[in-house]
Amino acid sequence: MSDPHDAVDAARRTPLWRNLSFTLMWTSTAASGFGDRMIMLAALALLGGLVAGIDNRAGIQASTQFFFFVPYIVFSIVGGWLADHVPRKWLLLACDEARGVILFTCFVLLYAATGSADMPRDTVWFTLGQFDVPRYWQVYVALFAIGVFAAIFNPTRSAIVPQIVPLRQLQGANAVILGINVVASMIGMIVGGRIIDAESAPSVRTGLLIGAAFYLVSGSFFAFMRVRRHEVSAEPQQSRSFTKGLRYLRQHRRAIIYILLNILVWSCAAAVSTSFIGIGSVYYGLSGDDVKDYFTNMSATVGLGMLAGAGVIVGIRTRRESALVMMAAMTMAGLSILLLVAVPVRWAGFVCAFGLGVFGNVAIVSVLTMLQTATPNYVRGRIMGINAMANTMFSVLTYFTIWRLPRPDDTLTTALFVLGPILMLIGMYAGIGHVMSGPAPTRRCNVLWRITRIFVLIWHRLHWEGRENVPHDGPVILASNHTTGLDPMLLQAAVPRIIRWVMLESFRFSVLNWFWNTIEPVFLGQDGKKVSNIRKIVRRLEQGEIVGMFPEGGLQRTDRSLQRFHPGVVRIAQRAGAMIVPVWIEGTPMRDTMMWHFLQPSQSVVRFGKPYRPDPDASEQQATADLRRRIEQLGAVGAVSTVDPVAKPDG
């Protein structure tokens, strides 16, 4: 019998494109997105939203969104609760199959329909007391039913993704799923726009049948996914109540902030996506099939932008500093909204729509990844349910408000002039505040720390291991091999404490005084006063700081074998009573020229060893040899382990 741990290790080493479970996930999700677009376009045609000569297109569009998303207010919570109690893949399968059955039922109900797709307003469906319910309300009922299962599907999908991909691939996986889903939705809009004709009821019937087929076939894919569940849970399954999910949120403020950001992003998306029909009508005087084509083309352009945004996220590859990426994306999305309505030129509108897709998707994926990472598996379903419920509630309120506006096309277009700048200001204010925060005592140093982190995380693919070995406080010496001029940046990006670097006075160039004043290194003279130099370092350590030193005293450059160690590190540690953390750096650019150490992309790794104090009874030579042995052992570890906490197959 195979060891389940071996299966987990293999999965953790598998790239996303070779992960079968992940492939099944995104294909099924894509088919769901295609089906959703079919029912949306069919509903718009049946409700008269594509008929020429009306001025309420945005209102009808908002009404379809309202009835589709209003179930999320209740059933997202139900879906989150179910996701923490039953196998998630079977729950996803059931939701897709149910949506397929509903669409097929709609196809049967329209089987004999002929003529225009617009349902008459004076035909009674049934009488409830003294009220006659018009027949066109059948469309809203179908949208509501589809929305119920979509509401259960959404938090379940968000909860299961961290169980089929490793944590280091989570942000890329979210980007791929959302990007492919957007592509499928975009294809659904284009195909649906070509199939569904406002003047032909049979065309609507065909669209519904195609959507049903996509749901029914792709939903079965979930049955073949391999899902892992964590062995250790802080909460027994039988006691996983919704109340305890709320209690978890109250105790974790960061998760609440992520949910609030989600609300903001999705509410803006609801307003902007609904405005396309109104913009086409108000700015360009379009109606009938022309406004339908404009709406589908603008939506498709947003979809292309979201696909490009997914590529940006995959290119970034790291979930660290997601907050900064998200805030920058929010600022640019606000600018795109403002330009969309401020520049009434059709080609400029498509450019803005593309930008909205790019930056909107980056913001959505970033905040989702942060929320997934911040919540443990046993409560993730309920937190995702609460998140889906909250942001959908505000989206539904947005749709409802637009629906009930007296002249929604004109009003909504005007409202975007306010919404864009508000989003820009929020993103800029939060982004500046985030950049200025950090472990350093000064804002300038924190800004430099953030810039350094995002540079080495993205350009040099920095990965670290064993960071928990670095003490959170007290005197510490980081003793590392020295491969390139990039090493101090890699170490500082990996350590959540500001490192005081030891440097020679000969490298203190006056043109960089602003930089030296920011990082405050320990400069050592070359006048032979070793005691004075040691005293400078000891003084910093006695103040409880962390000092970075390279025992080799020079760069390895293209030869990555350790050079001779100088005894100063252990001598200083013994005098200051400081802990030594051995560090190994690998994967940096092997170039002679210092500039290329920074400019050439790499996949750099920093590995921290266990902290220790030098043996007080050992000679200086023995203590230095011991430090060298510890650093060499870190280098001999080889490839960094990518295994997440122990997991085992679950269904």
* pLDDT per residue as tens digits for the range 359-389: 998 999 899 888 988 888 888 888 988 888 8
* Dist CA 626 CA 620 (whole Å): 10
Stated as kind and residue range, the H or E segment containing 127 is strand 124-128
Kindly state the average pLDDT of the residues 277-296.
81
The yes-or-no verdict on residue 115 having pLDDT over 70 is: no
The yes-or-no verdict on residue 2 having pLDDT over 50 is: no
> What percentage of residues in the chain have a pLDDT greater than 70?
86
Tokens describing residue 142 = 């179908």
- Which residue, chain included where needed, has tokens 């945004």? 309
Give pLDDT, residue 49. 67
Tokens describing residue 493 = 């990006």
User: Binning pLDDT at 50, 70 and 90, where does residue 351 land?
Assistant: very high
* Dist CA 128 CA 41 (whole Å): 29
Instruction: Determine which of 34-38, 135-139, 495-499 has the lowest per-residue pLDDT on average.
Output: 135-139
Tokens describing residue 511 = 């043109």
Kindly state the average pLDDT of the residues 37-55.
74
Q: Taking the domains of the chain in order of start, what are their residue ranges?
A: 14-125+133-224+253-436, 443-647
Give pLDDT, residue 10. 45
Taking alpha carbons only, the member of 262, 253, 256, 260 closest to residue 365 is 262
Give pLDDT, residue 645. 37
pLDDT 10s digits, 158-167? 899 988 888 7
* Dist CA 327 CA 427 (whole Å): 5
Superfamily of the domain at 14-125+133-224+253-436 = MFS general substrate transporter like domains (1.20.1250.20)
Give pLDDT, residue 493. 93
Kindly state the average pLDDT of the residues 197-217.
84
**Residue with the larger pLDDT of the pair 46 and 2:** 46
* Dist CA 414 CA 338 (whole Å): 10
How many Å separate Cα 260 from the centre of its chain? 15
Give pLDDT, residue 529. 61
User: Binning pLDDT at 50, 70 and 90, where does residue 191 land?
Assistant: confident
> What percentage of residues in the chain have a pLDDT greater than 90?
27
**Residue with the larger pLDDT of the pair 559 and 455:** 455
pLDDT 10s digits, 5-18? 343 344 445 677 78
- Which residue, chain included where needed, has tokens 């293999």? 10
Alpha helices in 543-616 (DSSP H): 568-576, 594-599
Instruction: Determine which of 123-132, 276-285, 541-550 has the lowest per-residue pLDDT on average.
Output: 123-132
pLDDT 10s digits, 80-92? 999 988 899 999 9
Stated pTM of the model: 0.74
The yes-or-no verdict on residue 579 having pLDDT over 90 is: yes
Tokens describing residue 131 = 């009220």
The yes-or-no verdict on residue 646 having pLDDT over 60 is: no
CB-based contact 470:541 (threshold 8 Å):
no
Give pLDDT, residue 270. 84
* Ordered strands of the 546-549 beta sheet: 463-465, 605-608, 579-586, 476-480, 546-549, 499-504, 522-524
CB-based contact 143:67 (threshold 8 Å):
yes
Give pLDDT, residue 11. 44
Kindly state the average pLDDT of the residues 90-108.
91
CB-based contact 300:311 (threshold 8 Å):
no
Instruction: Determine which of 227-231, 271-275, 335-339, 610-614 has the lowest per-residue pLDDT on average.
Output: 227-231
Give pLDDT, residue 7. 39
pLDDT averaged over the chain? 82
Give pLDDT, residue 440. 86
Tokens describing residue 337 = 């909204």
Give pLDDT, residue 355. 94
pLDDT 10s digits, 419-435? 999 999 999 999 999 99
Strands 476-480 and 131-134: unpaired
* Dist CA 331 CA 226 (whole Å): 39
Give pLDDT, residue 5. 38
**Residue with the larger pLDDT of the pair 367 and 192:** 367
Give pLDDT, residue 266. 84
pLDDT 10s digits, 23-33? 898 888 888 88
User: Binning pLDDT at 50, 70 and 90, where does residue 556 land?
Assistant: low
pLDDT 10s digits, 441-460? 889 899 999 999 999 999 99
CB-based contact 481:631 (threshold 8 Å):
yes
- For residue 432, CA distances in Å to 259, 327, 338, 429 come to 20, 9, 21, 5
User: Binning pLDDT at 50, 70 and 90, where does residue 97 land?
Assistant: very high
Give pLDDT, residue 429. 94
The yes-or-no verdict on residue 641 having pLDDT over 50 is: no
User: Binning pLDDT at 50, 70 and 90, where does residue 613 land?
Assistant: very high
The yes-or-no verdict on residue 530 having pLDDT over 50 is: yes
The yes-or-no verdict on residue 595 having pLDDT over 70 is: yes
